[in-house]
């Protein structure tokens, strides 16, 4: 069921703390202490937008993450970055019988941060609740994969650049809900990225075995950044194609 929300019916100019010195500069704002948001250039309050929730980390900070979301499309998406989501994903190994309590506490804490940030955002802008995509790069991508496998019913899909499926994810995965869920896995190109690429493909095989719909994108050159403009365009096309297929 959808959470209650308060959506402005006219324009973002009705929200004083969203307004920059010039209205055309309205792009980014602080949603709460650990989350920042971005809106399309010509935000239409009556339209329910897909939302990209980007977990930030060492490989991709807040400013860079917000820029990536805006670069995917100037019109198609709302964006939300959530900070302080990294933790030791090797703490619970694949063959552990019992999950360490601290690991589970940290996982729940991160999940609560994501939920609270999305709820805060929905008080201001119109979010399509069935089109919320979790994203991250590097270490944060691995956390995103863990969350998306643990709570797949929360998200319309997961976008992971250079992330690997953590050992704990195979134990915590909600396999019944994973069937048909969409994952976009981006990996660096070139010989120097062979190990990362192999880990990404291994994770892709695990997700496919669980019934997920997986797309893997390999950078054309090892000189390309982990999150390139080309890969962001691919993500935009991947999301839109999924929406059209559902329609």
H helix count then E strand count, the chain: 7, 8
Judge whether residue 155 has pLDDT over 80: yes
Predicted structure pTM score: 0.85
Backbone angles phi, psi at 182, to 5 degrees: -100, 135
pLDDT of 79: 96
Stated length of the chain: 247
Question: What is the rounded average pLDDT of the residues 128-144?
Answer: 96
How far apart are alpha carbons 70 and 59 in whole angstroms? 18
- 82 neighbors 114 (Cβ within 8 angstroms): yes
Q: What is the pLDDT of residues 81-135, one digit of tens each?
A: 999 999 888 755 544 555 678 888 999 999 999 999 999 999 999 999 999 999 9
Q: What is the pLDDT of residues 34-81, one digit of tens each?
A: 999 999 888 899 999 999 999 999 889 999 999 999 999 988 999 999
Find all residues with CB under 8 Å of 45, minimum gap 6, and list them: 7, 8, 9, 10, 11, 12, 125, 126
Judge whether residue 143 has pLDDT over 60: yes
Judge whether residue 190 has pLDDT over 80: no
How far apart are alpha carbons 156 and 246 in whole angstroms? 11
pLDDT of 24: 45
DSSP 103-141: HHHHHHHHHHHHHHHHHHHHTTS-EEEEEEEEEEETHHH
pLDDT of 195: 52
Question: What is the rounded average pLDDT of the residues 178-198?
Answer: 75
How far apart are alpha carbons 157 and 177 in whole angstroms? 12
How far apart are alpha carbons 50 and 126 in whole angstroms? 9
- What residues form DSSP beta bridges with 183? 158, 214
pLDDT over 90 percentage in the chain: 55
Structure tokens belonging to residue 4? 């209650």
Judge whether residue 152 has pLDDT over 90: yes
pLDDT of 45: 92
Find all residues with CB under 8 Å of 236, minimum gap 6, and list them: 72, 73, 76
Structure tokens belonging to residue 237? 């096309």
Q: What is the pLDDT of residues 207-223, one digit of tens each?
A: 999 999 999 988 766 67
Structure tokens belonging to residue 36? 């920042």
């Amino acid at each position: 069921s959808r959470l209650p929300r308060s959506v402005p019916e006219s324009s973002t100019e009705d929200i004083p703390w969203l307004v920059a010195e010039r209205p055309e500069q309205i792009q980014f704002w602080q949603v709460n202490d650990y989350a920042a948001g971005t809106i399309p250039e010509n935000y239409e309050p009556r339209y329910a937008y897909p939302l990209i929730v980007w977990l930030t980390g060492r490989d991709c900070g807040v400013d860079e993450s917000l820029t990536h979301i805006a670069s995917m499309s100037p019109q198609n998406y709302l964006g939300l970055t959530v900070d302080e989501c990294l933790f030791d994903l090797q703490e619970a190994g694949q063959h552990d019988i019992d999950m360490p309590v601290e690991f589970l506490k940290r996982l729940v804490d991160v999940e609560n941060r994501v939920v609270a940030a999305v709820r805060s955002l929905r008080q201001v802008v119109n979010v399509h609740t069935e089109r919320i995509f979790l994203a991250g790069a590097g270490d944060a991508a691995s956390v995103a994969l863990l969350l998306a496998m643990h709570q797949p019913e929360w998200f319309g899909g997961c976008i992971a650049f250079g992330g690997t499926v953590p050992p704990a994810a195979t134990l915590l995965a909600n396999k019944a809900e994973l069937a048909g869920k969409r994952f976009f896995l981006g990996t660096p190109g070139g010989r120097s990225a062979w190990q990362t690429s192999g880990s990404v493909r291994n994770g892709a095989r695990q997700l496919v075995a669980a019934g997920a719909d997986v797309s893997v994108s390999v950078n054309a050159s090892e000189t390309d950044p982990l999150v390139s403009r080309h890969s962001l365009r691919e993500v935009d096309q991947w999301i839109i194609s999924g929406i059209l297929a559902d329609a």
